[in-house]
Structure 1
Amino acid sequence: MTLIDGKAVSTQIKKEIAEEVKEIVAKGGKRPHLAAILVGHDGGSETYVASKVKACEACGFKSSLIRYEEDVTEKELLQKVEDLNKDADVDGFIVQLPLPKHISEQKVIEAIDYRKDVDGFHPINVGRLSIGLPCYISATPNGILELLRRYKIETSGKKCVVLGRSNIVGKPMAALMMQKAYPGNATVTVCHSRTANIAEECKTADIIIAALGQPEFVKAEMVKEGAVVIDVGTTRLPSTKTKSGFKLHGDVDFENVAPKCSFITPVPGGVGPMTIVSLMRNTLLAGKKEIYK
């Protein structure tokens, strides 16, 4: 069993990006600039945004954090999105989700200029992804592809089961694993809360990508010997063993599943760090105007 070390891979990629940025700036080019909008004080969102700001520093990017209180109006937020769309110095920006209930997330996503949508959530980027055109790929699926690539995991002709059908992970992941490329060329089955025979589907899979948000859902009896298991889950559960009072749990019963796997990602330290570094790569592409001129 090989443990897929997302932390080590992400550190390596940040170094690669920093080197490239150094070269761009040395040749008189513009330093990539990522902006982030954070609404309210959600613990998870605060942590993610802090990690993104730190990653920007490591990559040599310029970063801006724009904060609003929970009671910001939708109109005010949409105006800020419009300002960032027009700001020539900002190459890419994100609006950290989830947003308060009185704000339409979809409306905000669609208001972002797709050429600056480094989260890859805009319908134009999603549509281009589905037909294999260059685009900003949403960060978590893109990070998973990079792990498969760096660990040289064979995907062509393999059966891949994606657990979950979210717009952020499940759907784009399935589309990417089907594409005529490496990693890709897999036969993909998407399972979700209405799937009648999830255990049987998983049992036949060469690759399982679990993104359900249900702690320890994937049990050892659902996994065949030698399978590759990618765990996207990050559910905070109370714990007396940690200083913070909670512990992150993945969607996979790691302790019992790991011995059966050829490759497996841990939680934390697997997919998580790759999500942030994928956002950095999209920002670099935005800065270089490599996808959209």
Structure 2
Amino acid sequence: MLRTFLAIEQHGTMAAAADRMALTHAAVGAQMRTLERVCQRQLFDRSGRSIQLNDAGRSILEQARTVVAAYDSLLRGVADTHGVEGTVTIGATVSSMGFLAANVIKLKVPYPALNVRLTHGSSPELERQVRSGEIDAAVIISEPRTTTLPESWERLYEEPLVLLANPAMAPDEASVTSLLKRFPFIGFEAASLTGRHVTSLLRRLHVEVTPVLEMNSIAAIADLVRQNVGLSIVPRLRHAAWTNDPRLIARSIPGTTWRRPVVWYEFGRQPRATAIVKNQLLAALAE
């Protein structure tokens, strides 16, 4: 039931989820009505042409992913702990490499015979490497897709867009739009998925900016903001300690709804080994 629920969120519609789960549309609808009875609340908005997750449905997504991951781990059983061996190569973008590496290290004790090699790159390059078989899986920035190929997309977490500024240039009473109009702007690479959404957000805010430079590294942008070079709009990195940084503030932006999706992508070449890494990541996110 929870797998079907997650498939609806991932693929956008009950019909697409039914195809993915090899169920009839009626069976998917019946499962979701049962899930709503179990949760004692409505999880879907049925007022429009298509059925969409409502706020209550979105609020249990992370817990549903955790339960499914825990169930899969239970089925593998204790006997599998020392039975997985060999080498897998997992890629990640620079902004998510720290999260991936920290969790791979935790696998050394329970899976001593499993060797996980790490590599980094841009999301398009890592996606290409997974498809070509150069690497086994990757943590990338992408919208999950529906596909008939033996590939798997699973959303790990999301990062909202925020205004990143130096406290010296952003007093509490100043609005986001006024700050964008007053100070130099450091742009996120316009051709990237994130850059396109930043451009769209600036258009909705009716703010025209001329970036002093464009970069595709949030860490590099943050360092320039610390040096008071300018401010920027970037994803609020889930695993960055910005709240403890005296030279950075991350302000929420009114009217922004898009959240940068960080997803797990693989082609099913070494499913047992990659599942161990993926489930470790999901468990860490749940914690």
Based on CA coordinates, which of the two structures has the bigger radius of gyration?
Answer: 2
Q: Give the TM-score normalised by structure 1.
A: 0.29
Q: Give the TM-score normalised by structure 2.
A: 0.29
